[in-house]
């Protein structure tokens, strides 16, 4: 059967933009530091639940059949000419960090819904079903494990593990799913789609530096998150001789400086290291810190180099502990993902769609983690990156992509999904 449907579609950029702004109002707050309007919609809070209900309403208005699984992942399905064919899946997440902008994750979800609206308006029936997914707790900020909903959907983590995770107040994810009404009945293990394509803001400066709007993502670099807790001994700053101190804050600083030395050495490939969380206790001017806590975020596009960097850090921690009797360190693994290469065939489909829309593009690696890296074990997967302003700042109210950049990214998504959904 030869399809009479078009091979390229263009979305309604204004409508897409309006939906991004409307969703950003849910959880919107006045950010004191930037003077801007920010978004705070942590996973499975009341605010996130309000956002979920709004997006489900938009899905239903677009004619999608909505199902919710036992992780609270939401799927909206547009039926295809062959309902038995594996669907083409798109989507992302709508939960946010505590100081977020309007675009991270939301662009992929609302972009997917916009593609469905355009397919409806154009009267296009694709061969395969098209589904739009919203994955629970992608950020990992509330329950400590990122890409959580997609990781359970893809079978990497178990439902029991995820449900038992707790937030800072001791509330379990399972309990919060029930409380917010998003403990769905659908099987959490996702049947393998035909393909998964996720549109997302870059969250980095590379597209802007290269003067292009579209990035074809080649894969996601490996991520390692560890939490280090250091136990020393509180002591008065004035009366305790230096040789009698066990300073947990000093040990934390030594770890941070050493991490930077590992990066600067160039011996661990394209390693990036960040200590974003750092606290000391009791946090008083004239008390030597008794305890310090920090997180170490390592990124590397090479799993072997990542393992070497982790071992170098572990060796430093052992030496630090041995060097100071009374000092003790505990390390907790928060997250670990390997390098995930994306499907080369899909990357070609995306690049061709960008060309057909007259949009310049480059290939690049993702520095951030995304739901796509989880779904990649189920089916051919790739991502489309949209350029951000201000060095691609993200997880910040200054996060911004222009209406044109968003529309162009979702144009590429639309044509890509259309072509994939008509594949045999």
Interface positions with its own copies (CB under 8 A): 33, 97-99, 140-141, 202-206, 221, 223, 225, 233-242, 244, 247, 249-250, 252-257, 260, 263-264, 272, 274-290, 295, 297, 299, 334, 366-369, 391-396
CB atoms within 10 A of CB 175: 16
CB 72 within 8 A of CB 136: yes
Residue (of 150, 188, 153) closest to 69 by Cα position:
188
Per the structure block, which two tokens stand in for 203?
């969250």
d(CA 36, CA 40): 13
Three-state DSSP state, 216: strand
Q: Which of residues 238 and 358 has its CB atom nearest to its own copies in the complex?
A: 238
**Please, which residue, 59 or 246, has the CB nearer to its own copies?**
246
**3-state secondary structure at position 335:** strand
Q: Which residues contact 276 (CB under 8 A, 6 or more apart)?
A: 295, 297
DSSP class of residue 34? Answer: T
Q: How far is the CB of 22 from its own copies (least distance, A)?
A: 25
Identity of the residue, 278 or 359, whose beta carbon is nearer to its own copies in the bound complex: 278
Nearer of residues 76 and 301 to its own copies, judged by Cβ: 301
Asked if residues 408 and 357 have their Cβ atoms less than 8 Å apart, the reply is yes
Nearest distance, CB of residue 285 and its own copies, angstroms: 4
Q: How far apart are the first and last CA of the chain?
A: 11
Closest distance of CB 237 from its own copies, Å: 4
To its own copies, the closest distance from the beta carbon of 247 in angstroms equals: 8
C-beta separation of 369 from 174 below 8 A: no
Given the complex with its own copies, which of 51 and 397 has the nearer CB atom?
397
d(CA 352, CA 304): 33
């Amino acid at each position: 059967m030869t399809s009479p449907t078009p091979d390229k579609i263009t979305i309604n950029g204004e409508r897409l933009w309006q939906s991004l702004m409307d969703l950003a109002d849910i959880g919107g707050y006045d950010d004191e530091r930037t003077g801007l309007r920010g978004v705070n919609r942590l996973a499975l809070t009341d605010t996130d639940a309000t956002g979920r209900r709004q997006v489900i309403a938009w899905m239903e208005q677009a004619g999608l059949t909505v199902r919710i699984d036992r992780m609270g992942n939401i799927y909206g399905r547009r039926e295809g000419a062959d309902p038995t064919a594996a669907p083409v899946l798109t989507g992302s997440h709508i939960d946010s960090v505590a100081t977020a902008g309007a675009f991270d994750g939301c662009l992929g979800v609302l972009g997917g819904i916009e593609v469905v609206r355009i397919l409806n308006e154009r009267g296009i029936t694709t061969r395969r079903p098209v589904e739009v997914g919203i994955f629970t707790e992608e950020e990992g900020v509330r329950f400590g494990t990122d890409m959580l909903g997609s990781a359970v959907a893809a079978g990497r983590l178990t439902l029991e593990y995820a449900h038992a995770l707790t937030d800072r107040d001791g509330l379990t994810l399972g309990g919060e799913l029930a409380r917010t009404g998003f403990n769905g009945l659908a099987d959490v293990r996702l049947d393998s789609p035909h393909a998964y394509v996720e549109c997302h803001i870059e969250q980095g400066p590379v597209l802007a530096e290269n003067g292009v709007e579209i990035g074809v993502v080649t894969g996601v670099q490996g991520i390692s998150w560890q939490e280090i807790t250091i136990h020393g001994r509180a002591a008065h700053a004035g009366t305790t001789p230096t040789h009698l101190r066990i300073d947990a804050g000093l040990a934390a600083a030594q770890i941070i400086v050493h991490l930077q030395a590992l990066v600067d050495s160039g011996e661990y490939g394209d390693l990036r290291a960040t200590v974003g969380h750092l606290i000391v206790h009791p946090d008083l001017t004239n008390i030597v810190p008794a305890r310090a806590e920090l997180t170490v975020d390592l990124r590397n596009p090479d799993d072997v180099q990542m393992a070497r960097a982790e071992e170098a850090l572990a060796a430093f921690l052992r030496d630090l502990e041995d060097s100071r009797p009374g000092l003790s360190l505990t390390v907790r693994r928060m997250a670990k993902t390997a390098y995930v290469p994306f499907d080369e065939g899909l990357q070609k489909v995306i690049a061709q769609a960008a060309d057909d829309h007259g949009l310049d593009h480059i290939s690049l690696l993702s520095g951030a983690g995304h739901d796509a890296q989880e779904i990649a074990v189920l089916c051919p997967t790739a991502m489309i990156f949209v350029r951000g302003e201000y060095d691609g700042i993200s997880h910040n109210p200054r996060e911004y992509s222009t209406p044109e950049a968003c529309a162009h990214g979702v144009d590429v998504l639309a044509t890509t999904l259309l072509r994939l959904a008509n594949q045999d």
